[in-house]
Amino acid sequence: MTSHTLNDLLADGVRGRHVLVRSDLNVPLDGSTVTDDGRIRASLPVLSQLTEAGAKVIVMAHLGRPKGQVDPQFSIKPAGQRLADLADFPVTVAQDVAGPDAQRLASDLAEGELLLVENVRFDARETSKDEAERLTFARELVALTGEQGAYVNDAFGAVHRRHASVFDVAGLLPAYQGDLVHTEVEVLKTLTEAPKRPYVVVLGGSKVSDKLAVIDNLLGRADHLLIGGGMVFTFLKALGHPVGSSLLEEDQLDVVKGYLKKARELGCEIVLPTDIVMASKFGADAEHEVVAADAMEAGSFGSSGLGLDIGPATAEKFASFIRGANTVFWNGPMGVFEIEAFAGGTRTVAQALSDSEAFSVVGGGDSAAAVRQLGFSEDSFGHISTGGGASLEYLEGKELPGLRALEG
């Protein structure tokens, strides 16, 4: 079944109508300061199109995990302030989610204005496993729209959740895919259904357990699987190499051995580092050196050393695979990119992707934050996902409730 898009809604006409939008404003904060506004900027185009068309826009979003309680440190207000700074339309932030303040402000909205309600996860019913509780909350959110309301889901990063603002609301109003969701689905279809070869997947991040199902599903699809980040040490240990005090998931060793065997059978090459940046400790002031990946404990730090980045030879090897690819998917940094001494691998991979003419997808979360923090222009990549966990679940082959709810 197909889903209706934002263009369909705009063609139907939105002037004077309340449009309830689920956006992804789950941004990192330092106190009340937004430290990375990438998701807010990504949300702006849909909000701008709706306000320019005369809609009365009501935005729902979550921030962090407040566990169903009002917690000031997870207030949506800093994100709302940043949205107001970037927008060319009026933005108001409600003091509650669907209570008296939100109700009053929603009814007072003029055409072309936007209301952001408080963090939807301040209400425990948003994430409840009880369908009746979620549906009651969804009806309260929908009530903010009055008559002739519509719903737009533009938060791909939440479509893997069966939450009230993502799943249940879509069954109560005419529902549409926002541009972010629509684009994300089309990109991920390309990666899973008809990637142009050679198809290279670059996986990093801290834990191999977070990527198990993705690895399993991509082994039969990708030509080369490049492994970096903290997850690599479980692979190296599975090959019998000592890894010092590096991050290691002992309980995943047999699974990883199985993947190495399966990759050989399917003709997918798993490419592991040949050198590692080892450190005396975790910290910006740590002593560090480059050692061979099969002799990590032979360096200056012995068994107490920990790997915090792929080495320069590996980074260049990964870059050469990327340069030879026609499709590249990258999810997860190659090292602790937040510390300059251990950012080299991630920077080299990002540079290779930036220079590549391949169809390139940067898979959200830490990877997207890394390219921004390291100073790369988002325009130099084919697509930067806003999906995070949702993108990974799509690549795992799972059905995403928020997408299914938009089908009609």
Q: Which amino acids are annotated as binding site for ATP, given as ranges? A: 211, 307, 338, 364-367
Place of tokens 């990119």: 337
Which residues are annotated as part of the binding site for substrate?
A: 24-26, 39, 62-65, 121, 161
Cα gap 234→34, rounded to integer Å: 34
Q: Nearest CA to 23 among 202, 153, 207?
A: 153
Is residue 365 part of the annotated active site? The answer reads yes
Q: Residues at the annotated binding site? A: 24-26, 39, 62-65, 121, 161, 211, 307, 338, 364-367
The CA distance from 209 to 368, in Å, is 20
Nearest residue to 236 via CA among 190, 183, 272, 193: 272
From the list 228, 365, 388, 402, the catalytic residue is: 365
Q: Is the dihedral of CA 339, 344, 346, 352 positive or negative?
A: positive
Distances (CA, A) of 95 to 75, 103, 121, 164: 9, 10, 14, 19
Whose tokens are 């480059």? That residue is 290
41, 139, 207, 262: the catalytic one is 207
Residue 347 appears among annotated catalytic residues: no
End-to-end CA distance of the chain: give it in Å, rounded: 6
Catalytically annotated residue among 17, 22, 38, 39: 39
Most distant pair of Cα atoms in the chain: their distance:
71
> In terms of Cα–Cα distance, which of 294, 227, 307 is closest to 259?
227
| Run of H or E including 106 | helix 100-108
Is residue 39 annotated as part of the catalytic site, yes or no? yes
The reply to whether 389 belongs to the active site is: yes
List the structure tokens of 21. Answer: 């939008």
Backbone angles phi, psi at 90, to 5 degrees: -65, 135
Binding residues for (2R)-3-phosphoglycerate, by number, are: 39, 121, 161
Q: Which residues are catalytic?
A: 39, 207, 365, 389
